[in-house]
Amino acid sequence: MPEGLVILLPIVSLIALGHLLKRIGIFAIGVWRGVEALVYYVLFPALLFGTLASRPIDLGAGGTMILVGFAFMLAGMLLGLAARPVLSPSPRSFASIFQCSFRFNTYIGMALLGGVFGADGIAAFALLAGFVIPLANVASVWALASHGRQPILHELVRNPFILATFSGLGWSALGLPLPDPALATLLFLGEPALPLGLLATGAALTLLREPRQKKLVAYFVAAKLAAVPAIALGLAALTGLQGEYLVAAVMLAALPPASSAYILATRMGGDGPLVAATVGTATLTAAFTLPLWLMALGL
């Protein structure tokens, strides 16, 4: 069996298990909300900081990867904007679903890169995600700004992924030692971050129930899972990316949108059910498209 499938199958299994546990109602809704908050605010930031702060970063290849990331993120945004003249969605629907053409599920990506390259893969993915998450958040909030009042800067400075990533990068750049007890504590906290994040992803899955929205959802799913990663792969080939930096760029581009897109749309007065259905459809579809992109990378 190809290495990529060996790594992807446990990821899909955990997402499916999370969805099953949510459907059969073993745990109360509040339990899943607590799991999401624990992973988002504590466990995942600990994993990001500990991974980045404890190893040097290749700024040459890393910088090229970041430029490629900005380029394919902007391409995804342009594809999202193209939906307006093509499909004529309502202003509220477009403002809500626009983010689904470029946002990504960090938990799935980190698990994939960790499975292929270990800690080096996690560090490469965290480096790229840390730089493109602000761009994704600014664009998402901008699109929803007519339906909400939250300032963009407020959204960015409270994002624990961004804070942990740049804190870890700064610690590594300064060459500061990370005491063994501190590193061990961060690693202990980080170990359950990915499996719990994947379970929470499965618990948040929602399927499309409105036939009138199917064309709109299909367009954004195709843009995110097919067009954007194809652009990323082409740019990576042109710039000579290799190893974990190549895989991190293409995989981030190929990931389905994160459930945080639904949270943002709901909080800012957008069409939450439409975003939830798009995220759910894309996540299920990604179980079939991600293996293809892994094969294209030779994994």
Reading the block at residue 183, the tokens are 């590193």
As a whole number of angstroms, the distance between CA 223 and CA 100 comes to 9
As a whole number of angstroms, the distance between CA 158 and CA 88 comes to 34
242-255 tens-digit pLDDT: 999 999 999 999 99
167-189 tens-digit pLDDT: 888 888 888 888 888 888 998 99
Q: Is 166 exposed, middle or buried (0-12, 13-18, 19+ CB in 10 A)?
A: middle
Better-scored residue on pLDDT, 85 or 141: 85
As a whole number of angstroms, the distance between CA 100 and CA 259 comes to 10
| 243 dihedral zone (left: phi>0; alpha: psi -120 to 50; beta) | left
235-292 tens-digit pLDDT: 999 999 999 999 999 999 999 998 778 777 776 778 878 888 898 889 889 989 999 9
Report the CATH number that the domain containing residue 174 is assigned in CATH: 1.20.1530.20
Q: How many other β-carbons are positioned within 10 Å of the β-carbon of residue 20?
A: 12
Reading the block at residue 31, the tokens are 């339990």
Q: How many domains does the chain have?
A: 1
As a whole number of angstroms, the distance between CA 166 and CA 128 comes to 11
Query: Does residue 212 register a pLDDT over 70?
Result: no
As a whole number of angstroms, the distance between CA 151 and CA 159 comes to 13
Write the CB contacts of 33 (distance below 8 Å, at least 6 apart in sequence).
none
pLDDT at 104: 93
Give the structural domain span for 187: 3-296
Give which of 18, 22, 41 is closest to 30, Cα–Cα. 22
Give which of 250, 244, 194, 179 is closest to 38, Cα–Cα. 194
